Structure formats: structure tokens, C-alpha cells
Chain A
């Protein structure tokens, strides 16, 4: 089973709203990722959690706040977003084996976010 689930599937929010995106995996993976994808572009890495600790923040604006409550769950809290933040937000997970090993990321279906 290589399933990563994301909720909600679609989200429309105003610039003053606060909302959260959720991601869950039950594959025992110890790394989880948030990506942003615009139309006709490749996924763009935002955050990496490794063993529930934030290991990479790709200079993402503070209006995006990630949280990893446990090894199976990853949240992305959204506040005061701009219309240009509208995109497909993808979650991924991987085993995060020790260095030198192959590490495949499996993606969820994404949340289509529209900021009005």
C-alpha cells in the first residue's frame, strides 16, 4: 500500500481566512513533505519533516505554517494568503532510510486551493 491521503480535495478561502490542509500516511514512513504546484510546472518543495522534525524550509513565507503532530500526520496551516498562492498543494511521504539508500517519495492526490 502506497497511499497518502489529503483533505480537503478543494478549498476556497478569502485573504483574511485561516484554514488548514491535512495529510495522512500509514506506511510507516518517517519523512513527509509539502509541495506547491502551479499549472504546467513541476512540484516545488516547501517543507520537509524528517522524524517529525522540520528539516527543510525552502524560504516559504510565514503565512504558511507546517505542523507534524505525529509520524503519520502532516498539516499545513494557512493564514492571510494572497491570490497568487492559489495552486495545487501536494503532500508526499518516504521511508527516509539511512544515507546511501534509495528513498522514493509517494504523493497524495493534492488539495486544489483557490484564494479570492
Chain B
């Protein structure tokens, strides 16, 4: 049972335009959500996160939106750059009582930004 889903395996965007990556989750106990970027043969790099008490968090070109009622989050990258081409993983955790530190990852979305 996949608790975190990224339904789009790939996304192609023109340089300078907006990239929108989507993620859905099923477990209502999740209260912290993260986005990681991964280049081939490297470890995931933390990009941005959002706590369930917020609906938006912004850091430079990256903005994450959380819709708790829909159990949906999205990552917006504006403007997209060729260097953003990578695999993006959405992850979720439950940091309440009984926190195990376990991150649940989505399957990833490969973003290609064309010059």
C-alpha cells in the first residue's frame, strides 16, 4: 500500500516556465512533508519542507503548497532552469507521539527542463 504517491513519472518543461510537481498521500497522521532532488548516482538533496500547520512555504524559486483536506501537496519551481533537471521525491513523516523518524517516499518524478 503506497502511502505517498507521485502519479507523474516524468515532466518536461521549457526553461523559464513554471514546473509543478504533484504528490498525494493517504495517511492523515502525516504532519511533515519534504521534497528532495536527486541527480543520478548521488544522494538526495533536501529542497524544501512544510509542516501540516501551514499551507504554503516559499524558498527562493521553490514553493510548496499543502492542501490537507485533499491530502495533496505540490512543488512549484519558478522560473525553471536546466540545472533543475533531476528526479524529485516527495516524502512524508509523522512527528507526533511515537515518532519513529521514518520517512515515506513517493516513487519520484523525473523533471526535464529544456533550454
| A interface residue numbers (CB < 8 A to B) | 2, 4, 6, 31, 33, 40-43, 45, 48, 50, 55-56, 88, 90, 92, 94, 96, 99-110, 112
A113 vs B36: C-alpha distance in the bound complex, in angstroms? 22
10 pairs from A and B in contact (CB 8 Å cutoff):
A2-B46, A41-B107, A41-B108, A43-B44, A48-B101, A99-B97, A100-B97, A101-B95, A107-B43, A110-B42
Residues from chain B with a CB closer than 8 A to the CB of A104 are 34, 46, 49
8 A Cβ contacts from B64-112 to A: 89, 93, 95-103, 105-108
* Cα distance A56–B95 in the bound complex, in angstroms: 15
CB distance from A18 to the nearest CB of B (A): 24
How far does the alpha carbon of A103 sit from the alpha carbon of B113 in the complex, in Å? 30
**How many residues from B make CB contacts under 8 Å with A?**
26
B101→A56 contact, CB < 8 A: yes
A88 to B41 alpha-carbon distance, docked (Å): 7
Minimum Cβ distance to chain B for residue A46 (Å): 11
**In the complex, are the beta carbons of B108 and A42 less than 8 A apart?**
yes
Which of A42, A101, A106 interacts with B46 by CB under 8 Å?
A106
CB distance from B96 to the nearest CB of A (A): 6
Are the C-beta atoms of A110 and B43 separated by less than 8 Å? yes
